[in-house]
Amino acid sequence: MGELIPFFAIAMVFGIPMLAIWTRHRKDVMDVQARTTAESAAQYATSNKELEDRVRVLERIVTDKGYDVASQIEALRDERTAQLPAEAREVARSN
């Protein structure tokens, strides 16, 4: 048992500083990952906010009178096409 004491002493002399270096390295890696995750979360939040704004605009357009105007324009086009002679209707449909 006495022969193993120098071996353990040498292992402790080199092992403790190596453990400290490895621990510091792991901490640095975790800090970088945390920053990267925070940046990604901020980008996703910005993107999500932009999408929400676009959906609000689309909802406003659909519920606004402007959407009704587009429907009325289409209805007028259909009426106009129905009033055209048969030959003109075929040309209008092909375009």
Domain positions in the chain are: 27-56, 64-95
Q: Which comes out higher in pLDDT, residue 21 or 84?
A: 21
C-alpha to C-alpha distance for 51 and 57, rounded to whole angstroms: 10
The string of pLDDT tens digits covering residues 4-51 is 888 888 888 889 999 999 999 999 999 999 999 999 998 898 889 889
Q: How confident is the model at residue 77 (pLDDT cuts 50, 70, 90)?
A: confident
Reference 66, options 56, 55, 58, 54; nearest CA is 58
Residues in the chain: 95
